[in-house]
Structures are given as C-alpha cells and as structure tokens.
Structure 1
Amino acid sequence: MYQYTDFDRQFVTLRAQQFRDQLERWQRGELTDEQLLPLRLQNGWYIQRYAPMARIAVPYGEISSTQLRMLARIAREYDRPDADLLAHAQQTQDALQASQPGLTLAAPPLRYGYGHFTTRTNVQFNWIPLDRAADVMDLLASVHMHGIQTSGNAIRNITCEALAGIAPDEIVDTRPFAEILRQWSTLHPEFAFLPRKFKIAFNGAAEDRAATGWYDIGLQALTNDAGEVGFTVKVGGGMGRTPVIAPVVRDFLPWDQLLNYIEAVVRVYNRYGRRDNKWKARIKILVKAEGQRFIDEVEAEYRAIVEQDGAPHTITPAELVRVQASFVQPELRRANLPSEVSITARPFQRWLTQNVRTHRIAGLSVVTLSFKRPGWAPGDADADTLDALADLAEQFSAGEARLTHEQNLLLPWVHSGDLPALYEAAKALGLVQPNIGLLTDLIACPGGDFCSLANARAIPIAAALTELYQDIDEVTDLGPIDLHISGCINSCGHHHSGHIGILGVDKDGKEWYQVTLGGSDGSALSGPATPGKVVGPSFSAAEVPGVVEAILDTYRALRSSAAERFIDTLRRVGHEPFKQAANGARHGEHRAAHQHEEATA
C-alpha cells in the first residue's frame, strides 16, 4: 500500500494543527458557527441528527493494521456520547419505532464506540463531541489519516476497485493514478468551492468493479491497438433525485494527460454549473442539459490547457515511477498458524466458494470478511473488532486490508495455505458469513437513525431482511442479488443501482419506502449501469419484508433454471409480474410477521 513521504506526513500534521486553531477560535467566540461551518466541513466534520459525525478518508480503500488500531482507539476513547444524549436519542428512536403500524421487527439498539464503513471507502464516527475533534485529528495525522475533502463542494475521496493491484484480470494498477490525482486535487485553490460535491472513481480491470458509470468522473483503464495505456473518460453520472448514467466523453485519453483533461472537465463545470439550486448543481445536470455542447466546451478547454498553457499537469514517466514505487508489493510471509478446521467441512467450503477469490499471484488468495452480521448495521465495526482486524491483517495479509464499496473488509495478501487458520480466527469474530454477492450482503446507509437528511431509517429494514433470510441454503439458492437501501433521495445506500433498491420517503410524517427493480452498478454480474424502476406506490416499513419476499418468490417461480440469476430473469420476463407480486404483498401477511409471532408465543 502507499507509503507516505515526509511531505505527506508534514502536510496532514499541519492540517490537523490548522484545524485545532480554527476550533479553539470558535470555542473562544472568535468564530461564529456560520464561520466555522465551511472549515469543519473541509475536514470531514458534520453536525448530524444527535451529534457530530466525523468522516475519515481512506483513499482507494487501502488501510494498514496501524491505522485500524488507531480507528479502534478513537472508537473506544472518543466515540462516546454522554448519558443524557444517548438516552434522548434512544427515546426518540423508540417513539419512531412505536409509530410504525405493524412493524414487529425491532431495529438494533443505538450503539456507540464503533466505526462505520461507507460505500465510498470512508470511515464514519457518529458520537464524537466537537470539542474533542482536534484531538481526534491529531491522532489520525499520527498514522497518516485525515478527513480532508470528505465533505464540502470539492473533489472528494477518490476511489478504485477493491482488487486494484491484485486482480488476475487487471489491465493496469490504478492506485498510483488515483494517488497522483489525490495529491493534485487536495486543497486545489481553483476547485475548493465547486457548485456541488465532486466524486471520481478509477477501474483498472476488464470488469467494472468501481461503478464508474455512476460517478461525476469515471475512469476505465484500457490499452489501444498500439499497446499504450489510457483511460475511457465518463462524465456526469450520479444518483440522487435525478439518476443519470455518465456518458463517455473520451474513448481514449493517454495516461499522461489525465490531470490536464480532468482540470478541463472540472473547470467547465465550475464555470457553468448551477449555484442557485443545490438540487440541480451536480455536474450530471449540466451534462444532461448541454449534451454535446458540454463535451465541446471541455475539449476546447483541454486544447487551451495543452496548447496555450503548455500542458502544465502532464504526468511524466518519472513522476509515475516515483508514485508507483510507493506501492511496492509487501513482504509476504506465511502465518503457519495451527487450525482445527476440516478443509472438507461444508461451512468452510461454502466460505471458500463465496468469500475467497483468485489472486494474480499463484499461491495467494483474496479474502473478504463479511460485515453483514445479525444484530449489527451493515458496515459497522466496534473498537474490539477493529483491533482484531488489525491482528488479522498483520497475521495473514502483510499488515494491509481494504475497505470495499459493499461495506466489507478485504484482506489482499493471504497465503492460500493459511485459509483454514484465517477462517477459524474470523469465525470467532462473526465475520465468515458466506454471503458475499448474495442477498444478505446488502448495502445500507445509516439513514434516519443518525442522518439529519434522511426521511426514513435504513438500519431497521436491513435488520428485518437479514433476520428474514437467515437460512444460508435459501440465500445461496437465490443466487447473486444486489440489495441496496437508502434512507433518503441522496442515495448514500446506492438504491438506484440495486437489483432490488429500497428508498426511504416521508409520507404524512411517517416512514414509507419505495421499491425499485433492475438497477445495475455496471459489473459483469449486473450488466451495463442502469437505474432501477419503481414497482409501485410506497410501502410501510412493516410491509417491506413481505414485498421483498414476494418479489423473490416470484423470481423462483419464473426462473428458467436454478442457474438463471435474478437480474437475468427480471430482464427476460419484464417488471410486471414482480410489480404485481409486490403490490399484492401489501394485502397479505409476510413470513417475518409469522416468525415474530412464533418467537414470542
């Protein structure tokens, strides 16, 4: 993983010192709340429903065991609300739960002392008091971490597919390019106050595992007929109120022109993007409205940068080599830990099939630990678990782990001979659910449990569906299904790209949910990126589990064979049978209600 230079270390340390000065001036009354707002947002500090929320950047998802231990310390020592605040939050949640007619499956209790893995490979904390924020930033800086540009109208944390540098189908390792772009864009004075937030994703493999079509800029690596490396450039994707798939604006951009061209794109957006209406300020709105005119403006700006300005940000071979050298393959050692796991046992074999992938290096494996645990929100890891993950990374993966878009954690350097011992160690932590890519490997944002923007809670719906589908044989039989849940139209749970998407909406002051079908993130499983279609009017929280069950029962009845995937059946037969099943479930009883009644009888 990337090795920080002296300049990198000095930079994050000075940034933390600057933030401490800003916070102390605010505490002395020298800065108003309004004046502090952009300063804290630029460092990843929000004020959410009950308390501040800190968002920590994990560029391209790579995280070390040392950093995991620091996150564990922050969770344990700083992510702690006072008793009155926690009691108020729990009372509010209990009252909301009680107001939902017919909802018999309770949400997990509000927890503290943990971190949350997001869909953009950030880590969030939900309970750190603002007066302790500077101490947290100092601790993060000591392990080369920060919250710079994880918020605000700037270029946000840059992502790659989780298998960058280790995938057998890789065209080019995009991590060095992402790092060069991160260094260039961080605190870029021209792009510090864009019309809205701006997100960039790289994919370096034949399969798009980074959902590039859904980003403001998506960069797909490829080689041309001459064998030269470059990128297909997509611009103007996004979710939210207006889901848009990014069109291709450049079929092939030479790798050395990456910064010059991105500067042209962002400069045109900065010049023409709307600032009068934040709901229409994303670049997707500009691209959709202007079409070819937008592309022509970008090309003209790019020519001016190259011809008139002398292409000042051309990436030289020497610069690429310098940054690539910071991504050296780690020293790989066998753990050689004893294990009592029978390698022929069905649970272990099922885990190998679902959670372990082939590595580009013979004798190594890529292992995904599932953070979809019963009783926990997707992507949540408490302090003890974070410490244990650091141990696993050191013992089995050369001290490195990766956060994934699906809110799991991946170990990229595991010796295949160590898989039984790793399985046993991860099983003790409850992280070996063999569900990667299956229904219960669902994505969910924090929703109304924490987010002040949310219309409805996502965590109770995720909990209800997880409880409903506990039978791993049934989940395996259903096959690959992307289920995504968002608590509001901002789409942090990426509901638009789910094969089954669930969106929380407000209706008469109560929580309701829209269901969409047929979305895709652009992966090989899902096909070209596309937004899902709404199957009917919104459903109450109590109805959602039954609606999902009816949809899946319809799939089983209509699939041509056990091998036909849900998304393929949906595309073959169309939405209508599923829409009828979903709307019919509104009037019937669902299995979740029966299970609860039996459990409480």
Structure 2
Amino acid sequence: MSDTATRPLPVGHYTYDQVDHDFLRARVEQFRDQVARRISGELSEDEFKPLRLMNGLYHQLHAYMLRVAVPYGTMDARQVRMLAHIARTYDRDYGHFTTRQNIQFNWIRLEDTPEILEQLASVEMHAIQTSGNCIRNVTSDEFAGAAADELVDPRVHAEILRQWSTLHPEFTFLPRKFKIAISGSPHDRVAARFHDIGVVAKPGPDGAVRFEVFVGGGMGRTPIVGVRIHDHLPEEDLLAYLEAILRVYNAYGRRDNIYKARIKILVQALGLDAFREKVEAEFAAMDRARYRLTPETVAAIRARFGTPDLIAPADAPAKLAADRAANPHFDRWARTNTHPHRAPGFICVAVSVKPAGGIPGDATSHQIDALADIAERFSFDELRVTHMQNIVFGHVRQDELLALWHALGEAGLATPNLGLIGDIIACPGLDYCALANARSIPIAQKISARFADPTLQEQIGRIHVNISGCINACGHHHAGHIGILGVDKKGEEFFQITLGGSAEDDAAIGQIIGPALPEDATVDAVARLIETYLTLRQEGERFLDTYRRLGQAPFKDSVYATA
C-alpha cells in the first residue's frame, strides 16, 4: 500500500495513486532488463538508443546524462532530498537545473541508471518523456497558485496535460520533440510564444476563463515566434483542441529531414490559415465528449493537490518593512528576489542559482538539501524550478523572510540578481554536450564575474543575457535582450552576439549585430554594450527599450569600432 494514503497531500503538485506507483515500478523493471541486455552485448547501441531516450538517458561527451522530469517545476522536500542523494551518490555532487523546469545529472554510469530510477519512483519521480520525439515536460508559471494576477492555477491543467500525454499511443513517435507551456496569468511568464504550443489564460466575456493558444514557436536553427491559432478557447475544450493540433502535426509533419521536422516548419509551410483549417476540421470530427474537461473533472484533479493555509500575522508586512529598513543587504535582495503574492502577509521568493562567477543552474548536493530544508521550514514543504534555471518558494510569510534569507546565505544561495545581468541563462555547452560548438559555461562565468557588483547590477536594471553553445539554442539565446551563440571557426570557439530578443508578451527574436568574436573579446563587447545603454537610455528604460528606440546602429558601433 502506498504511503500517499496516510501522508498529507503535498502543496503544489499532484499526488500519485496506486496506478501511478504500479506503472513506474513496471517501467523501472523494464528498463533494468534493457540495461542488462545492453551491458551484456545482446543489444547494440543503435538498438538501445531509442530505449534509453524514452527513459531520459543521453550519451554525452564524457558520460551518460540523466534528465529527471519535474512536472510544471514543482516538488516537495522529500523529492528534493532524493535529488541531493542522487547528486552525492551517482554524480559528482551536483545537479543542473534546466530551462524546462527539470534537473539533469551529467556524470551517470549506465549500470547505475535502473537503481536511480527505482529511487526516483519511490518519491513519485521519473525521467519519462524528458527526451525523444514525444511531448516533453509541460512547463508552467513559477508563481502558479500564488501570483496576484493569476486567473487560474495552471498546474492543474499542466497535470491534466501530463496525464493525457504520458505514453499517448498516437504521440510517442512524433516527427520531432514537442514542447508545451501554460500560463494561468494573462502576463506571459512561460515564454508561451516560443513553444510548439503555448497556452495563456485570459478573462472571457462571461467571466469564465478562456485560453489564448499559440502554435509553431521555437528556437534552434530556425527561430520563430509562435502565432495565435485561437484567442478564446473554453476550458472544457482545452484537451480536445490540443489533441487536434497534435494529430495534424503527426499527420503532416516532415519525417524526412530532422531540421524541418518541428511543427513551426509545418505552420510556416502551410500558412496559419490552412493549418488552422486542418486543426478545426480535426477538432470538429472528434468525439469531444471523450475529451471534455468538465468542472467535475478539473475539480477532481485539483483535489489531488495540497492547499496551503495562507494565514499570516496581521503585522507581517510591518515586520518585513522594519527588517528591510534595518538591513540594507537584505533590502537589496528583497528588491530583486521577491514577487507579490495574492494573499495578505505573504510573498513569493525567487532564489538565484547563479552566484557571481558561478555556473548557471548548477547546485551542489548540500545546496539542494538546504533548499529542501528551507521549503519545509518556510514554504509549506514546496518549491518550484523555473524556466530561468532558478528556484522559487511560492508561499512565504513576510515576517519570516529575513530568517529565510539568512538560511539561503548559509547555503551560498542569497545572490541578489534575479532579472539582472548576473541572472544568465546558459546551456552546459561543449563542457558536456556532444552537439555543442563552444563552451557556454566559461563565458557565462566571465560575464557574471565582470558584473558581480550588486550596485552596478541594480544600476543597469532589468536585462536578460542568454548563452547557447550551438544553434540548437538550449540557452535560448534568440530570446535574450543580449544573446550569445557559440560557433566553430576552423576549430576555434567564437561567439556571435544578437540583440533585441524577448520571451515575454513582446516576444521577439534577437538580431545578429556583426561577426563572431573570440571569448574574451565577447565579454568586452558585452561590457561596451552596457556602457552604451547606460549612456543613451532615458528614464525608466530597460536595455531592451533603449535598443528598440534607437535601433542597432549605436550598439553595433560600440562593439566593432574598437573590436
């Protein structure tokens, strides 16, 4: 009998039932047999590859990499502690948080993988559909269930999509990988327009929530901003409409060319009107009653989520104000690393996993354990991984924020740089990835160290710097206000700079400003771009605003006039 019948429902994520547990145990034993046959030589690497990819196991430059699924980014403390255990026992004492709100381990031995998956299953975790040509981990707003501007908690719908998509018989072998993001707020905090399908909640004319649906977005070698295919989809039709989109993609998507296999290419090739016509025809022909999300269905899934008791002392805001007034270092961190909460006396906390000069997204087992402890103590036993490679505690009492900050400081996790130039998104690059052309990590560390001064970071203000080690764009460089792409020039690592990207409501693809530069010259170029911005900006402008107002010329001149 599962212990889920006796322990309280965890806040923020779905609690497995016996069917879920039985399924994971069977999946682990199946893969244990497959690994044994690979080690014995009964299976060749070509035969084993699709099997390991279905279980999140990649073969990288130096070792196997295991990508663990964190549905919609939410975990409880026991799950986080299991990740710390895996980092200590089977990796080199750290894990890497990814832009799909997952975590991956880069130094895994093949023979250890079944045991790791068994231990993950014991805490309701797995690595299914974190790789391969299937529907990947559905991502969501890191402030889900807490944000003041939220219309609906998107984790409930993300869970519905997870259950629908897991081992879906039609969509296990799609033309290419498929990524879905859902925001419960009209403000896009999930990069919806850069997903194969992006779903954004909006108020309907009758007061009920409707969904704006975007399709055909993506990065990689052909970056495209997704287009709106439906602007007022009723909640009850969400599952059916997404199934209709997937059916059209599965039927018409190209399988003869991996570079033209994503749905973004299909939408562009057919044109939005023709693509929508096919989706609407499929949607109309479906037995929609089988897919309808009735209020009872949604409520049943929602009931599997724990609900926090959001009651804070009446003087909690005053206590926080006094703490901030008494400690300027705490005040600086609170300015950058918190987000408004819908409940009086509460606040959301964003934790940077990007110390000055550090590796973006990496955390040691000690730090991962500390995050679990802090979640238990301050945030109803729950935390979230963000698509910015950081961590969020969703429900923190304002009068306890100072104590939480001290606990983060003891773990080396109190860097005050969320949304600032030190908050860099970067892929693992050529240090680990067999596809990369250049190393992303060292240049991220150098830029972070160059702008380590918190006062300078605040002076610069909100800016996104994104770095990818190859054209596959795992660091989302196309969407960075400043994007950096590693390229190979006759065996040497160079870096191409793009400006003007955004992954939010004003989604845009960054534009190349000139020839690629060596690593150190690229770091100097970023410094000159920032100097130009600080000289030319008007009051209240972000870097992106100044760039859009003035255009590329002054920024390009600042880089290449002295390059």
TM-score of the two chains, using structure 2 as the length reference: 0.94
Matches within 5 A, 1:198-213: 198-213=178-193
> Deviation at 1:317?
2.0
Secondary structure of 2:520 counterpart: coil
The whole-number CA distance in structure 1 between the counterparts of 2:164 and 2:400 is 39
Q: Distance in 2 between matches of 1:224 and 1:138?
A: 44
Q: Note if 1:555 corresponds to 2:504.
A: no
1:289 matched to 2:244? The reply is no
- 1:120 maps onto 2:112 in alignment: no
Give the 5 Å matches for 1:309-320. 309-320=287-298
Conserved in 1, the CA contact under 8 Å of 2:353 and 2:362?
Answer: yes
Distance 2:202 2:17 in 1: 29
**DSSP 3-state at the match of 2:107:** coil
Q: Contact 1:203–1:210 (CA<8 Å) still a contact in 2?
A: yes
Q: 1:36 aligns with which of 48, 51, 67?
A: 48
Q: 2:35 is paired with a residue of what secondary structure? A: helix
Match of 1:82 in 2: none
After superposition, residues 249-398 of structure 1 pair within 5 angstroms as: 249-291=229-271, 292-305=273-286, 309-331=287-309, 343-398=325-380
Rounded Cα–Cα distance in structure 1 between residues aligned with 2:495 and 2:350:
30
1:403 matched to which residue of 2? Answer: 385
**Which of 185, 189, 214 lines up with 1:234 in the alignment?**
214
Deviations 1:363-401 (A, max 9, x none): 111111111113431010111111111111111111100
CA contact under 8 A between 1:343 and 1:420: conserved in structure 2? no
Using the TM superposition, name which of 367-376 and 487-496 deviates more: 367-376
Identity of paired residues, percent? 50
Q: Which residue of 1 aligns with 2:520?
A: 542
Partner of 1:224: 204
- State the partner residue of 1:564: 541
Structure 1 unaligned regions, length at least 5: 80-111, 587-601
Structure 1 counterpart of 2:125, from 134, 145, 148? 145
Shift of 1:310: 4.8
Q: Counterpart of 1:572 in structure 2: which amino acid?
A: R
In 2, are the aligned partners of 1:547 and 1:585 still within 8 Å (CA)?
no
Name segments (4+ residues, structure 1) moved above 4 Å.
331-336, 338-343
* Distance apart, 1:8 and its partner CA: 1.9
1:518-572 per-residue CA deviation (whole Å, 9 max, x = no partner) reads 000114xxxx1110000101111121111001111111111123x3221111111
Deviation at 1:584, TM superposition (A): 2.4
Q: Residue 468 of structure 1 corresponds to which residue in structure 2?
A: 450
State the AA in 2 paired with 1:560: Q
Alignment partners' CA distance in 1, 2:428 and 2:381: 29
Residue type at the aligned position of 1:571: R
Give the conservation status (yes or no) of the 8 Å contact 2:467–2:483.
yes
Aligned equivalents of 2:54 and 2:183: distance in 1?
26
Alpha-carbon distance between aligned partners in 1 of 2:509 and 2:288, rounded to the nearest angstrom: 40
Aligned-partner Cα distance in 2 for 1:457–1:344: 42
Counterpart-to-counterpart distance in 2, 1:283 and 1:165: 30
Matched with 1:577 is 554
Q: Deviations over 1:123-147 (max 9, x none)?
A: 0000010111000000000000000
Q: In the alignment, is the contact (CA less than 8 A) between 2:366 and 2:411 conserved in 1?
A: no
Task: String of CA shifts for 1:393-437, please: whole Å, max 9, x gaps.
Answer: 111111100001111111112111101111111111121111111
Deviation at 1:332, TM superposition (A): 5.9
Partner of 1:191: 171
Please provide the CA RMSD for this pair: 1.7
Matched, 1:428 2:386: no
Across the two proteins, how many residue pairs are aligned to each other? 545
Contact 2:359 2:444 in 1 (8 A): yes
* CA 1:573–1:19: 2 relative to 1, 3 Å: same
1-structure distance, mates of 2:562, 2:534? 16
Q: Are the aligned partners of 1:118 and 1:405 in contact in 2 as well (CA < 8 Å)?
A: yes
Q: How many angstroms does 1:280 deviate by?
A: 0.7
Q: Is the 8 A contact 1:333 1:398 kept in 2?
A: no
Structure-2 separation of matches of 1:154 and 1:237: 16
Query: Which residue of structure 1 lines up, in the alignment, with residue 478 of structure 2?
Result: 496
Deviations 1:441-491, CA, capped at 9 Å, x for gaps: 111010111010000000000010011111111111001001000001111
1:228 is displaced (CA, Å) by 2.1
Q: Given that residues 312 and 345 in structure 2 are in contact (C-alpha distance below 8 angstroms), is that contact kept between their aligned partners in structure 1?
A: no
2: distance between equivalents of 1:522 and 1:330?
29
Q: Contact (CA 8 Å) 1:546, 1:585: kept in 2 or not?
A: no
- Which one of 404, 412, 420 corresponds to residue 394 of structure 2? 412
Q: Give secondary structure in 2 for the equivalent of 1:191.
A: coil
Alignment correspondent of 2:70: 58
Conserved? CA contact 2:198–2:215, under 8 Å? yes
TM-aligned CA deviation for residue 328 of structure 1: 2.9
* TM superposition shift of 1:38: 0.7
| Runs (5+) with no aligned partner, structure 2 | 1-11
Matched to 1:50, the amino acid is H
CA distance in 2, matches of 1:304, 1:355: 48
CA distance in 1, matches of 2:345, 2:534: 38
Displacement, 1:30? 2.5
Q: What is the distance in 2 between the residues matched to 1:362 and 1:12?
A: 40
Cα separation, partners in 2 of 1:535 and 1:72, compared to 1, 3 Å: same
Q: Would the aligned equivalents of 1:332 and 1:398 in 2 still touch at CA under 8 Å?
A: no
Q: Which residue does 1:514 correspond to in 2?
A: 496
Query: Normalising to structure 1: TM-score of the pair?
Result: 0.88
Q: What is the match of residue 85 of structure 1?
A: none
Alpha-carbon distance in structure 2 between the residues aligned to 1:77 and 1:315: 42
The answer to whether the 8 A contact 2:134-2:178 is kept is yes
2:136 pairs with 1:156: yes
SS of the equivalent of 1:248 reads strand
Distance 1:332 1:296 in 2: 46
Contact 2:356–2:422 (8 Å) recurs in 1: no
Q: Secondary structure at the match of 2:259?
A: helix
Measure, in 2, the Cα distance between the counterparts of 1:547 and 1:390: 39
Looking at structure 2, the residues matched to 255 and 18 of structure 1 have their Cα atoms a distance apart, in angstroms, of 37
- Report the CA distance shift for 1:115/1:334 in structure 2 as closer, same or farther (over 3 A): farther
How far the C-alpha of 1:345 sits from its partner, in A, is: 1.6
Could you tell me how far 1:223 is from its partner in structure 2?
Answer: 2.4
Q: CA deviation at 1:304?
A: 0.8
Paired AA for residue 489 in structure 1: I
Q: CA deviation at 1:343?
A: 4.9
Helix, strand or coil: the match of 1:542?
A: helix
For 2:544, give the aligned amino acid.
I
Q: Secondary structure at the match of 1:172?
A: coil
In the alignment, which residue of structure 1 is the partner of 2:4? none
Q: For residue 235 of structure 1, what is the amino acid of its counterpart?
A: V
Bigger CA drift: 552-561 or 61-70? 552-561
- Aligned-partner SS, 1:504: strand
SS at match of 1:330: coil
Give the structure 2 partner of residue 22 of structure 1.
34
Residues 240 and 288, structure 2, Cα contact 8 Å, conserved in 1: no
What amino acid is the match of 1:583?
Y
Q: Which residue of 1 aligns with 2:86?
A: 74
**Partner Cα distance (2:288, 2:526) in 1:** 57
Q: Deviations over 1:133-167 (max 9, x none)?
A: 00000000000000000000000000001011110
Partner residue in 2 for 1:135: 115
Helix, strand or coil at the partner of 1:177: helix
Contact map agreement 1:47 1:53 (CA 8 A) in 2: yes
The letter for the 2-side match of 1:537 is: P
Contact 1:447–1:488 (8 Å) recurs in 2: yes
